[in-house]
Amino acid sequence: MNGKITMTISIGCTALILTMVMFTQFKTVGETDITAIETMRETELRAELASWKSKYEEIETKIEEREKTIGEYNSELENNQNSLKILENEVKEAESYLGYTALKGEGIVVTLKDNEIYNIDHTDLLRLVNELKVAGAEAVSINDERIIGASEITEINNRIIVVNTKRIAGPYVVKAIGDKKYFESALTIKGGYIDEITGSGKDIEYNVQDNIVVPAYEG
């Protein structure tokens, strides 16, 4: 009898537990909205997360590519500007080299004068210009006539000195831009140009200056 009671109770409890769990499960399954995120299975959530992640990564790589191309364009622009500057500098250099622009800077001003006995010869000017060029002159002018590669210093009838097909007369002011110390030492060296000119009885003066303007070549 005792065994029968325990059996009854335990089987009843078993039935109770089984139906309780089953109904709980029915309710859970019935009420669960598959699309709701809170009740989604972990694996589904993971899959969703993975897909979003991959999308995010895709977009990120796209952004990186775009930024790269923007950077390329920027660098190209910079390069263009740089090359523009370089070209401008080159043009300026070439112009200054050709003498198409006036130059300003430190240098030397040499003045040759005719005196009662001796006249200044065109060779004196020629040699002076050569000396100055050897001493590193960037620009040379005689009486504000710029000396360029095509310039000539010559004489007509042993009387009239012509520079750049223009007649000039004394005093002859030769301006040169460059290192003034070099100029000074190149001209005043013993047995140098000044010695020669003074030795031949001609008048020469020079003074170094910090601000000399050599005009541009004008035809």
Residues that bind another protein (CB under 8 A): 4, 6-29, 31-32, 39-42
Cβ proximity to another protein, 5 vs 150, nearer residue? 5
Cβ proximity to another protein, 19 vs 74, nearer residue? 19
User: CB of residue 7 vs another protein: minimum separation in angstroms?
Assistant: 5
Distance CA 87, CA 137 (A): 24
Of the chain, the end-to-end C-alpha distance in Å amounts to: 141
Cβ proximity to another protein, 8 vs 83, nearer residue? 8
Q: 3-class DSSP state for residue 146?
A: strand
User: CB of residue 30 vs another protein: minimum separation in angstroms?
Assistant: 9
Identify whether the C-beta of residue 164 lies closer than 8 Å to the C-beta of residue 119.
no
User: CB of residue 50 vs another protein: minimum separation in angstroms?
Assistant: 15
Distance CA 184, CA 206 (A): 9
User: CB of residue 49 vs another protein: minimum separation in angstroms?
Assistant: 15
Cβ proximity to another protein, 47 vs 160, nearer residue? 47
The candidate with the shortest Cα–Cα distance to 192, out of 110, 115, 117, 107, is 110
